[in-house]
Amino acid sequence: MATRSAATQDDLRRHNLARLLRRLHEGGAASRSDLVAFTGLNRSTVGVLVSELADVGLVYEGAGAAGQVGRPSLMVQPSASSAVVVAFDLRVERTVAALVGLGGDVLVHKEQRHKRSSYTPETALRNIVSLVGSMMGKAPSPATWVGVGIGVPGIVDHVDGRVRLAPNLGWVDVPLGDMVREGLTSAFGFAPAVAVNNDADLGAIAEHARGVGKHSRNLIYVSGEVGIGGGVIIDGRPMTGAGGYGGEVGHMVVNPQGAMCRCGAKGCWETEIGRDAILAAAGLGGDQMEVADVIAAASGGNPKAQAAIDEAGEWLGIGLANLVNLFNPEVIVLGGHLRLLFPLVSGTVYRRIHYALPAVREQVRVEVPSLSGDSTLLGAAETAFEALLSDPIDVLARAHHAAAS
Ligand SMILES: [Zn+2]
């Protein structure tokens, strides 16, 4: 019985360490009194837990903000230079990468363009390994590398990181998680936890944790890239569906008269408001063109570009009205090129949302991301920190051990 009770005690300690570190990582600096209130634990227990996290360097205590009445209390802060992750947003025509410290600070940010036609899984792997090398070369000392997070524009098995289908990359059944683990191990001698997820799911996670949806329980993130992705947070948790593939809003069929989609269906939402659809409607082709170019052409008086924007606004509103009825979200966040498009067509969008059921439409607001264009990247960083945040002391010890051996 003594052993069992000791095990329970240890579980409880680890659970509380994880709760404290997660609170500091997601919410930033807090006084010990804040942490007592947050955890419901007594002051001396919180003191012991903070000391344990401080002993391994994950947190430190420093003076609080100036200007408070009386003596400023010490604030417990996450140490950005204690643990780092490398995050990736693999897009159809560019790779965006960041070195992110505990607490969510982006320490290094890089972008590499690539040709869509030659971006094979092997090319992606080479880019990832080389970017990890250059990012870790810039990591603050003595940071421990605890994870890699990757966002992919496709359907991903988030358990093993297999990309089942990324239609706009032309990838089918790619074991990206395993490839990255093996690639990193052969390049660096070890690999930390590797998480691979759908890009829009990561956008939803980031905007819910740190962005414009921070205080909401029900959020939908819609990403506008070459394709249209969706990530759904229901009651504070990511909605996954049976296999983790839920939320593929880009492939809901909105227009049976529409164009063929790369997924094989006809008239998907993506074939109306995806980047290629808007460029085609505006009569602007070419790999280097962006929706921003259509917007610039429209504001320069190009009637075809203006018509393409107006049309996309109608379809955007129609799709969002469906999502509002289905999910009853408090906030819908429009990322990627939808972030640029929305301010130009918000009247049309709200007119279309007005066709949703009254009780649900009254509760929703449509926003653009507050994390600029990096929602997916920052969501990838969050998933890369997940192992550390679930069991801080153990994961750190194992990472030290792996790096040393
Ligand atoms: Zn489709």
User: How far away, in angstroms, is 275 Cα from ligand 1 center?
Assistant: 14
Query: Could you tell me the fold of the domain covering 83-201+375-404?
Result: Nucleotidyltransferase; domain 5 (3.30.420)
Are 57 and 80 spatial neighbours (Cβ–Cβ below 8 Å)? no
* CA distances, 67 to each of 63, 64, 72, 76 (Å): 12, 9, 8, 18
CA 172 from chain centre, in angstroms, equals: 22
| 74-78 vs 30-31, strand pairing mode | antiparallel
Are 309 and 298 spatial neighbours (Cβ–Cβ below 8 Å)? yes
Pick the CATH number of 2-78 from 3.40.91.50, 1.10.10.10, 3.40.50.300, 1.10.20.140: 1.10.10.10
User: How far away, in angstroms, is 382 Cα from ligand 1 center?
Assistant: 28
Q: What is the CATH number of domain 213-367?
A: 3.30.420.40
What is the three-class DSSP state of 55?
helix
Task: Assign 3-class secondary structure to 368-396.
Answer: CCCCCCCHHHHHHHHHHHHHHHHCHHHHH
User: How far away, in angstroms, is 395 Cα from ligand 1 center?
Assistant: 40
Q: How far apart are CA 168 and CA 155, in angstroms?
A: 11
Instruction: State pLDDT tens for residues 336-345.
Output: 999 999 999 9
User: How far away, in angstroms, is 161 Cα from ligand 1 center?
Assistant: 22
- DSSP conformation letters of 131-151: HHHHHHTTPPTT-EEEEEEEE
User: How far away, in angstroms, is 153 Cα from ligand 1 center?
Assistant: 13
User: How far away, in angstroms, is 388 Cα from ligand 1 center?
Assistant: 36
User: How far away, in angstroms, is 249 Cα from ligand 1 center?
Assistant: 9
User: How far away, in angstroms, is 272 Cα from ligand 1 center?
Assistant: 10
Domain positions in the chain are 2-78, 83-201+375-404, 213-367
Rounded to two decimals, the pTM is 0.90
pLDDT tens digit at each of 405 positions of the chain: 456 677 788 899 999 999 999 999 999 999 999 999 999 999 999 999 999 999 999 999 987 655 555 666 789 999 999 999 999 999 988 999 999 999 999 999 999 999 888 899 999 999 999 999 999 999 998 899 999 999 999 999 988 999 999 988 999 999 999 999 999 999 999 899 999 999 999 999 999 999 999 989 999 999 998 889 999 999 999 998 888 888 899 999 999 999 999 889 999 999 999 999 999 999 997 777 899 999 999 999 999 999 999 999 999 999 999 999 999 999 999 999 999 999 999 999 999 999 999 888 889 999 999 887 899 999 999 999 999 999 999 998 888 777 666
